[in-house]
Amino acid sequence: MLRHVIELKEDVAYASQAVVSKTLVDKAAGTMTLFAFDAGQNLSEHTAPFDAVVQVLEGQARLLIGDDEVVASAGGLVIMPAGVPHAVFAKERFKMLLTMIRE
């Protein structure tokens, strides 16, 4: 197995007026995906059947989880429980690592 260090903030680039994603791991147990959000972009409200963990790598994100609004900055970690509607909003550019836990 090839082993190397992934510089998370450097491994996904911003794009104007877009959300860019890069899958790092896609296994039966779960996924790890890097995201770069340009200011004003979002992931619309949806529900996932698995717990999801957001680690903010750069900038600041606003998350709506059920009826709760959460603001997380670089270094922050947010757990979004399975079955609860959630959305992600970028007031400013930010990057995050999303880990979905299937098992």
pLDDT tier for residue 103 given thresholds of 50, 70 and 90? confident
Q: What is the pLDDT of residues 34-60, one digit of tens each?
A: 999 999 999 999 999 999 999 999 999
Is the pLDDT at 72 greater than 80, yes or no? yes
The whole-number average pLDDT for the span 82-86 is 96
Q: Supply the Cα-derived Rg of the chain in whole angstroms.
A: 13
- Composition of the chain by helix, strand, coil, percent to 5: 5, 55, 40
Q: What is the pLDDT of residues 12-31, one digit of tens each?
A: 999 999 999 999 999 999 99
Residues 84 and 103: their CA atoms lie apart, in Å, by: 17
Provide the whole-model pTM: 0.92
What CATH topology corresponds to 8-101?
Jelly Rolls (2.60.120)
Is the pLDDT at 74 greater than 70, yes or no? yes
Domain definitions of the chain by residue range: 8-101
